[in-house]
Amino acid sequence: MFSNQMKLSTASKFTYRLGTALRAGADLVRSLQSEADLGPARHRAAMQKLIDGVKRGESLSEVMRGDSYFPGLMATMTRVGEETGKLERSLLTLSEHYQHQIDTRRWFLNSITWPALQLVGAIGVLSLLILIMGMFDLPDLLGLGLKGGKGVLWFLFYVAFVLGIIGLTVWAYFRNIGGIQNVVPLVYKIPIVGPAVQTITLAKFSWTLSLTLGAGIDPIRAIRLSLESTDSDYYRSGANDAEQAIRSGATLSGALEATGVFPKDFLERVDIAEHSGTDAESIDYLTKEYEERSKRAIKVIAGVFTVLIRLAVMGILIFFIFRLFSIYINAINRASDPIVRPRFGN
């Protein structure tokens, strides 16, 4: 939202094509040149920027970091691939990751489509009622003080305002506007939703950590890159503490504990995994577990959104049903009042 960043579908296809070309031994500049002939103008311009940077001797990740079009995780994993000499593997793995996100998002949207349509239908019915009240000069049945075409416009403005506030809050959270991500610990305390959001973030972190450790990157840099991959300043803030802990001789789980951003359950699982094999192997096992957890967490969030939307629709309808019923009862009561005849003098 409000961003010119590469779309997930484009990111998945781009990393797959480039990774496949590099695995086949194709020249990097030629492969990028093929990408520069595809997609919208913004995509072609970004590809040309990559080509120019590579020709100047810059790395792909360097150029990506300087262009907001490329997702942060793509720049991070490209850097991992460049430093380990396994760029094609990083890109293809990244492509699978983006495709998984696309599938998850599609499933989420499909889950909330019908409730959302119900909400739109309820808003449409109320708008029609407001319009009819103005056209036929009926009393204010809804008690909102809105009638006719002008009333409909004001009603839709109020609805858009509320939805806009929700959208801006979400946007500000992901952009960490005003340090809003400092409330992340409070978000995690929200029943049902909080733990689900935390699980999704931990899955992303463990996935990147597994890949970086498996690529041979030292734990300090692997943890820093993995914290960056969460796209959260709250998690990034623990990078220096983790580095200091490792330099002091701490284990991987000890370094993560030093950050102060990971839950006890996650740290315990990392500690258990460390005792069962090498860091890369243990984290890879943990990653698979959290990938499964994240899928269930996304279903939980989709279910919560579905329930909230349906409750909103029911709340709107019930409120106005009772409103109309009270108007009807009042009208009956007034009709049943005895007629007081005026008295005339003798």
Q: Is the dihedral of CA 174, 47, 58, 101 positive or negative?
A: positive
pLDDT at 97: 78
Task: Answer whether residue 118 shows pLDDT above 90.
Answer: no
Token pair for 211: 């890949």
Average pLDDT over residues 267-275: 83
pLDDT of residue 259: 95
Please determine, for residue 312, whether its predicted confidence score (pLDDT) is greater than 90.
no
C-alpha neighbours within 13 Å on the C-beta side of residue 243: 12
Cα gap 51→55, rounded to integer Å: 6
The pLDDT, as a whole number, for residue 164 is 93
Which conformational region is residue 2 in: left (phi greater than 0), alpha (psi within -120 to 50 degrees), or beta?
Answer: left
Instruction: Answer whether residue 265 shows pLDDT above 50.
Output: yes
Tokens of 36: 């520069």
Is residue 238 within 8 Å of 227, Cβ to Cβ? yes
Residue 278 pLDDT class (50, 70, 90 cuts):
low
Mean pLDDT of 225-236: 84
The yes-or-no verdict on residue 313 having pLDDT over 60 is yes
pLDDT greater at residue 282 or residue 145: 145
Query: Which pLDDT score is estimated for 337?
Result: 64
State phi, psi for 230 to the nearest 5 degrees. -75, -15
Calculate mean pLDDT across residues 316-343: 73
| Nearest residue to 166 via CA among 18, 337, 336, 309 | 309
Higher pLDDT, 113 or 240: 240
Q: What is the token pair recorded at 133?
A: 């009240």
**pLDDT interval class at 329 (50, 70, 90):** confident
pLDDT of residue 105: 81
- 122 CB-contact burial (10 Å; exposed 0-12 / middle 13-18 / buried 19+): middle
Residue 1: pLDDT band (50, 70, 90) is very low
Q: Are 169 and 250 in contact (CB under 8 A)?
A: no
Burial category of 221 from C-beta neighbours within 10 Å (exposed 0-12, middle 13-18, buried 19 and up) = middle
User: Quick one: average pLDDT of 322-338?
Assistant: 76
pTM here? 0.70
Return the C-alpha torsion angle 175, 180, 182, 185, nearest 10: -100
Cβ within 8 Å of residue 329, ≥6 positions away = none
Q: What length does the chain have?
A: 346
